[in-house]
Chain A
């Protein structure tokens, strides 16, 4: 057994050496170096990860650590000095319902995030107005037959208070209307992924989610005031449920943080990878 031990030791040692030489040798041509920590919104996380991958290829000496939790943790981490960039689904340098503004932080727009109302595949309704949505989420409308569907109870699925998606959905889809908890047929979920699972598995349910998450046969997007939730309709201004995604920084960004944000805002990234991830370039919204 001794030889096995020696062999594995040797293997581990060589693996370490190999990785050290690989990371060490990969180009020393540019002077940009340092560490960028990104924290915050899970909705923006796929975008941040993709951008970090590409940016590190260009600037091998910059290390980017990105993680996602909830929108508000982004600006909070920046405030506490834990993160250089706080990803947030709303402009945290201004007051929004439920959250005070973060003093001294700068909001850098990086993407446009469209949201959509979704229903389980069992629901026959394919368009809802702002008033109908308000009625459903405030608990006044409880049956699908009142909005043109079958005689079935509406099961409301919502994100918990403080979610960036919920903040934006309430402001734009419900026209500022309330989401009221109910004794039955009401459920709160903690993330976009959970929202998708819950609506997909619960018959007669309704929910809301980032457009990028919509796929598969179990859920379908519902038209808002007769307008289909598509990237084109967001760009031409017909579809209203969207928001900017922001990178919050303490004061104006500098050094490698500035370079990274500029890379994310660059035409190459916005028109390339960002579009592939189903976000919308900020330049498209004029």
Chain B
């Protein structure tokens, strides 16, 4: 009875009271304005992102291109002789070293972190997940310099002991430090992806008589493929751009790494080591900018490659 009375009153109000009607249209107008505002707000956000990217490409690129006034592209990209104090600017060694360091890191890190992710998401009981997930989140947030310092004080002496080398710095040390750094990133995100695979897929697989191992590798992992690829990309870009941790354990010597223990240098570590010691208006400075630009391109290309592999694997 009460309800119908209310309803009647409301209808009457909508019909009769102009104030009430105005209120209604104002609510509609407000919704429209808010919608409009949010549309432009989101548009602004994406534009801001594009602007930053464009500025990075433009300003780094502009300085970078000045390199080619003095150095031929052939020398820069294919010569292995980086002796800038004598005007020899061959950056090929940094490119090769960066690629091999990233590859080595991924070879060690991906199987390990996928194993961790599968354990947490598929095998371990729920309380382990509750305990380990926040721990991984914490590890993701640790600043890289801390990992670098651990590498310098704990990992290097250990490597010296094991290998009998005098120094221990080199690709292997850097790859191990990077692995520890990106393990939590990759495993945390892949674990999310694996957990998001619907339960019915597993049920169907078990119903067909598959073992847990078969279910995990044939059903769950392919279904979570996209998420895992995203996880690997995030880990890889963190590894390829990492500077401080790498500088502390790689030896910072501009030469091609002929062994895992040879002191060497990658794009990032070379930029940070030399940028503060060069003239503003020198080819040396320009070429360091070009190396930064190159780093951008390399990570872009690697992301593309991994996406293509991921798509093929997922299909």
- Of the candidate stretches A45-53, A67-75, A126-134, the one touching chain B is A67-75
Whether, in the assembled complex, B279 has its beta carbon less than 8 Å from a beta carbon of chain A, the answer is yes
Whether, in the assembled complex, B165 has its beta carbon less than 8 Å from a beta carbon of chain A, the answer is yes
Report if A188-B280 is in contact (Cβ < 8 Å); known contacts: A155-B167, A203-B160: no
Q: How would residues 153 to 180 of chain B score, 1 for a CB under 8 Å from any chain A CB and 0 otherwise? A: 1001100100001110100000000000
Whether, in the assembled complex, B85 has its beta carbon less than 8 Å from a beta carbon of chain A, the answer is yes
Whether, in the assembled complex, B255 has its beta carbon less than 8 Å from a beta carbon of chain A, the answer is yes
Q: Which residue of the partner chain, among A152, A160, A205, contacts B273 with CB atoms under 8 Å?
A: A160
B276 in contact with A73 (CB, 8 Å) = yes
Q: How would residues 123 to 162 of chain B score, 1 for a CB under 8 Å from any chain A CB and 0 otherwise? A: 0000000000000000000000000000011001100100
B166 in contact with A76 (CB, 8 Å) = no
B276 in contact with A202 (CB, 8 Å) = no
* Nearest opposing residue in chain A for B277, CB measure: A162
> Residues of A with Cβ closer than 8 Å to B?
69-73, 76, 80, 98-100, 152-155, 160-163, 181-190, 194, 197-198, 201-205
A186 in contact with B276 (CB, 8 Å) = no
How long is the Cα–Cα vector from A230 to B133 in the complex, in angstroms? 55
Q: How would residues 227 to 265 of chain B score, 1 for a CB under 8 Å from any chain A CB and 0 otherwise? A: 000000000000000000001100111110011011100
10 A-B interface contacts by CB (under 8 A): A70-B276, A72-B278, A152-B166, A160-B252, A181-B253, A181-B255, A186-B251, A187-B263, A188-B263, A190-B252
B277 in contact with A161 (CB, 8 Å) = yes
Report if A201-B153 is in contact (Cβ < 8 Å); known contacts: A184-B166, A186-B251: yes
Report if A184-B263 is in contact (Cβ < 8 Å); known contacts: A197-B152, A201-B152, A204-B166: yes
A187 in contact with B253 (CB, 8 Å) = yes
B252 in contact with A188 (CB, 8 Å) = yes
Report if A187-B169 is in contact (Cβ < 8 Å); known contacts: A201-B157, A203-B160: yes
* Nearest opposing residue in chain A for B284, CB measure: A162
A187 in contact with B252 (CB, 8 Å) = yes
The residues of B that contact A205 with a CB separation of less than 8 Å are 167
The residues of A that contact B280 with a CB separation of less than 8 Å are 76, 80
Q: A188-B253, A190-B273 are in contact. List 10 more A-B contacts (CB 8 A).
A: A71-B277, A98-B85, A99-B279, A155-B167, A184-B167, A184-B259, A186-B263, A194-B248, A201-B156, A203-B160
B165 in contact with A184 (CB, 8 Å) = yes
The residues of A that contact B153 with a CB separation of less than 8 Å are 201
Q: Give the total of B residues in contact with A, Cβ under 8 Å.
A: 31
Q: Which residue of the partner chain, among B156, B263, B277, contacts A72 with CB atoms under 8 Å?
A: B277
The residues of B that contact A71 with a CB separation of less than 8 Å are 277
Whether, in the assembled complex, B272 has its beta carbon less than 8 Å from a beta carbon of chain A, the answer is yes
* Nearest opposing residue in chain A for B170, CB measure: A184
Chain A nearest CB, measured from B279 CB (Å):
7
> Residues of B with Cβ closer than 8 Å to A?
84-85, 152-153, 156-157, 160, 165-167, 169, 247-248, 251-255, 258-259, 261-263, 272-274, 276-280
* Nearest opposing residue in chain A for B256, CB measure: A183
A72 in contact with B279 (CB, 8 Å) = yes
Chain B nearest CB, measured from A265 CB (Å):
27
The 4 closest A-B pairs by CB, nearest first: A162-B277, A70-B276, A188-B252, A153-B166
The residues of B that contact A189 with a CB separation of less than 8 Å are 252
Chain B nearest CB, measured from A38 CB (Å):
16
The residues of B that contact A73 with a CB separation of less than 8 Å are 276-277
How long is the Cα–Cα vector from A190 to B277 in the complex, in angstroms? 10
The residues of A that contact B252 with a CB separation of less than 8 Å are 160, 187-190
**Of B255, B259, B273, most A-chain CB atoms within 10 Å:** B273
* Nearest opposing residue in chain A for B86, CB measure: A98
A183 in contact with B167 (CB, 8 Å) = no
Q: Which residue of the partner chain, among B167, B262, B274, contacts A160 with CB atoms under 8 Å?
A: B274
Report if A160-B277 is in contact (Cβ < 8 Å); known contacts: A98-B85, A186-B251, A190-B252: yes
Chain A nearest CB, measured from B172 CB (Å):
13
The residues of A that contact B278 with a CB separation of less than 8 Å are 72, 162
Chain B nearest CB, measured from A262 CB (Å):
29
The residues of B that contact A182 with a CB separation of less than 8 Å are 253, 263
The residues of B that contact A201 with a CB separation of less than 8 Å are 152-153, 156-157
Q: Which residue of the partner chain, among B166, B273, B279, contacts A185 with CB atoms under 8 Å?
A: B166
Chain B nearest CB, measured from A166 CB (Å):
9
How long is the Cα–Cα vector from A202 to B155 in the complex, in angstroms? 12
Chain A nearest CB, measured from B280 CB (Å):
6
B279 in contact with A155 (CB, 8 Å) = no
* Nearest opposing residue in chain A for B253, CB measure: A181
A155 in contact with B254 (CB, 8 Å) = no
* Nearest opposing residue in chain B for A80, CB measure: B280
Report if A161-B258 is in contact (Cβ < 8 Å); known contacts: A73-B276, A201-B156, A201-B157: no
Report if A69-B156 is in contact (Cβ < 8 Å); known contacts: A185-B167, A202-B167: no
